[in-house]
């Protein structure tokens, strides 16, 4: 079963094929998994909810919950709100899919199995920041049908400071450790490098610098996110916590003849969360200061 999104970026279309991860609400003769799209962290290492207590997984169902396809990584940003990439919940024409198709698993560093479906959260509302007008606005808030208990997951905070090329950051998500490989059943993380190279604007006219809506990354090590990691957290350490710098949006190979669009020689873009934090706060009806992490002066 296939459920994919093709995102129009600049003057080209980026399409990927990966091993799709599918779970079922009733016993199936086939194993959980078939061909399709999933997430990837290139050169990642296993991590857990002690590092990412806000991690979430976004599944899509096209058959009223009989089967569910893992689509994207996401984060809990409020007791009842999930943050992820807008393209995860949009059709090719950038219209939002019905909320009934979106299911959320929260607070686990293991990719959900059929036995976890009963704990999935439904989505009641989808709030977009204007993805239909610009791919730079590849961010969406999902309101859950109920609050997430604090013993299940704790919301992330947003990194509000300037993003520099010497800021240590890492990305996390569920997926393969190599391009087009099968998905990982556990959460992976990898260090990546913030870049201000001219290549950042060459391959994306929406990027001018890392103080705008997007953060650019070009990692010499080959550490990278990949397309299905979309919505996953890009984080920096602050006050001993991993706080949200951005969310995975998209990337491409700087060699136009290469079909491999993640890993070595790739430029990747992340939606900078602080750029949208006042919008997030307005949707959640909270003071934006409650969403950001300030340096502890003590």
The more confident residue out of 18 and 69 is 69
- The DSSP bridge partners found for residue 126 are 142
Average pLDDT over residues 236-246: 97
pTM beyond cutoff 0.85: yes
pLDDT of residue 15: 33
- The yes/no answer on whether domain 169-275 falls in CATH 3.30.870.10 is no
Q: What percent of the chain has pLDDT over 90?
A: 67
pLDDT of residue 181: 63
Domain spans, the chain: 169-275
* Predicted confidence (pLDDT) per residue in 175-210, tens digit: 665 556 666 788 999 899 999 999 999 999 999 999
Instruction: Compute the distance between CA of residue 75 and CA of residue 80 in angstroms, rounded to an integer.
Output: 11
The more confident residue out of 69 and 42 is 69
């Amino acid at each position: 079963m296939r459920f994919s999104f093709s995102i129009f970026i600049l003057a080209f279309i980026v399409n990927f094929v990966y091993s799709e991860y599918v779970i079922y609400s009733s016993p199936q003769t086939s194993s959980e998994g078939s061909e399709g799209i999933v997430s990837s962290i290139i050169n990642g290492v296993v991590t857990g909810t002690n590092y990412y207590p806000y991690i979430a997984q976004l599944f899509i169902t096209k058959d009223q919950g009989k089967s569910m396809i893992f689509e994207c990584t996401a984060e809990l940003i409020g007791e009842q709100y999930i943050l992820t990439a807008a393209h995860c919940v949009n059709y090719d024409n950038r219209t939002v899919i019905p909320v009934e198709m979106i299911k959320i698993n929260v607070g686990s560093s293991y990719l959900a199995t059929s036995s976890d479906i009963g704990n999935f959260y439904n989505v009641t509302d989808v709030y977009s920041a204007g993805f239909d007008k610009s791919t730079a606005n590849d961010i969406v808030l999902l309101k859950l049908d109920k609050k997430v208990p604090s013993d299940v997951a704790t919301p992330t905070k947003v990194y509000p400071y300037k993003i520099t090329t010497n800021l240590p950051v890492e990305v996390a998500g569920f997926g393969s450790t190599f391009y087009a490989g099968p998905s990982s059943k556990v959460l992976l993380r990898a260090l990546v490098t913030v870049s201000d190279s001219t290549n950042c604007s060459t391959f994306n006219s929406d990027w001018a610098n890392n103080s705008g809506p997007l953060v650019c990354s070009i990692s010499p090590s080959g550490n990278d996110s990949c397309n299905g990691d979309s919505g996953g957290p890009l984080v920096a350490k602050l006050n001993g916590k991993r706080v949200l710098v951005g969310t995975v949006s998209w990337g491409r190979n700087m060699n136009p003849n290469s079909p491999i669009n993640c890993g070595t020689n790739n430029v990747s873009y992340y939606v900078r969360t602080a750029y949208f934090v006042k919008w997030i706060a307005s949707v959640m009806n909270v003071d934006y200061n409650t969403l950001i992490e300030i340096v502890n002066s003590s």
